[in-house]
Amino acid sequence: MRPLLLTLALAVSAAAAGYDPSWATTKPKRTIQHSDPNGDALVKAIAALQPGDHLEIAAGTYSINRMWDVQTTGTASAPVWITAAKNAQVIITRPDDQQNVINIGQAKPVQFLCLRGIEFTGGSHGIRIGQASNFWLDQCHIHHTGEVCVSANSANTSHLFLTRNHIHHGAGHAEGFYLGANNGDHIMSESIIALNHVHDCRGEQGDGIEVKQGSWGNLIAENHVHDTNYPCITVYGTNGKPVNIIERNLCYNSADHVMQIQGDALVRNNVLINGAHAGFASTDHQGKSANLKVVHNTIVNRTHAFRANSWNDRKGMVLANNVLYSTEENAILFTNGSSGVTVTGNVVLGNGPRPGTSFGRGLTDLPNLSPDGSKHDATPAPDAPFNSADPRFLEKSDFLGKPRSRPISGAIAR
């Protein structure tokens, strides 16, 4: 599937997927047009907004030469909307990287606020989210920042909706999204990160989407993430809170693992291609791996397809109904053993032990996918030998949202 076609497919699926907040269709009480090109005037206009207001910003580049903390807040029945005017290119920047371009709720809590259709570039962090809940960042373009593009690591956050954004070319640590803080110092909960295009995260680290230890109950879905220095998607554990769900993401071209998940998660219907170390990896890090189900993914890699360092004798570990193809190394590698792990219904190509698997024929099983990530349509060939999925772990739908009528392994049901 070409990137453009994928983007169109994801956009069509958005309404049905329910990724938007419950207040998404609430109509503003008042609409205000802002066209003053002075950056300070824009700061003042946003500070003056009241619940129910909609600020439409005219086309232009607005440079903010100050520490800017948006404290504007709405209510469930009267959100605040800050958007680009129709068909307008609105760019918000600053002259240096001494401050973030924009902060949300650093000094006091913000809720029921939406930023939509705005471009943020320059500065340190592009957008830094602080004390926020029911904050919606939608259809924004965040790029070429001095540090992380979007962060939510300085306070606890909940019910963030980070949807349909285009994020690329951060510097410094260079994450696309950095969500939660190390060791659970700050957590993100019950949030949605969906339908984003994240790429070229090539700084000192450079995860595409990173969700830190202790963050829980989040959905990371239908993101298109590629060309990262660290994993395209990294998710730690939840410290026993409700699991995170990572599903229907297309990830490829990582200088590390394509996807790395510690535990406390359901990982399903993802397509992962071309990681320097592994297609999928799991290991203890700031917490122990446990309660992790990896089902119905298609993973194609030159090096290891699936690698688990710390699954031995851990509770709730399942590897089921995946297509795991390695062209040079192991299809499945449990470096410290796999006692107690459920391994079933997988189709494999590659070296290493193969418990709970059947054999694929080769890359002809996936004719529109290439190990270097240049082609990434994971639709199986009509005669691909993928009909051995274990019904106990059969997901109702696939990567494209189509129902699974037959027990087909991998992300796409054919």
- Domains with residue ranges and CATH for the chain: 3-230 (2.160.20.10)
**What mean pLDDT is reported for the chain?**
94
Which single residue is written with the structure tokens 């809170």? 241
pLDDT of residue 355: 75
Mean pLDDT of 391-409: 95
Whether the pLDDT of residue 1 is over 80: the answer is no
Least confident span in 11-25, 58-72, 190-204, 345-359: 11-25
Whether the pLDDT of residue 11 is over 90: the answer is no
pLDDT of residue 4: 35
Q: What percentage of the chain has pLDDT greater than the value 90?
A: 93
Q: Over the stretch 281-302, which tens digit does the pLDDT of each residue have?
A: 999 989 999 999 999 999 999 9
pLDDT band at 6 (very low <50, low <70, confident <90, very high): very low
pTM above 0.85, yes or no: yes
Mean pLDDT of 134-162: 98
pLDDT of residue 356: 78
pLDDT band at 15 (very low <50, low <70, confident <90, very high): very low
Which single residue is written with the structure tokens 């504007």? 72
Whether the pLDDT of residue 374 is over 50: the answer is yes
Whether the pLDDT of residue 14 is over 90: the answer is no
Whether the pLDDT of residue 2 is over 50: the answer is no
Mean pLDDT of 197-209: 96
pLDDT band at 352 (very low <50, low <70, confident <90, very high): confident
Mean pLDDT of 353-372: 91
Mean pLDDT of 274-286: 96
Mean pLDDT of 97-125: 98
Listed residue (294, 317, 324, 342) closest to 386, CA to CA: 324
Mean pLDDT of 376-402: 96
pLDDT of residue 354: 73
Whether the pLDDT of residue 10 is over 60: the answer is no
Whether the pLDDT of residue 222 is over 90: the answer is yes
Mean pLDDT of 348-359: 85
Whether the pLDDT of residue 61 is over 70: the answer is yes
Whether the pLDDT of residue 5 is over 60: the answer is no
Mean pLDDT of 140-159: 98
Mean pLDDT of 12-30: 80
pLDDT band at 279 (very low <50, low <70, confident <90, very high): very high
pLDDT band at 12 (very low <50, low <70, confident <90, very high): very low
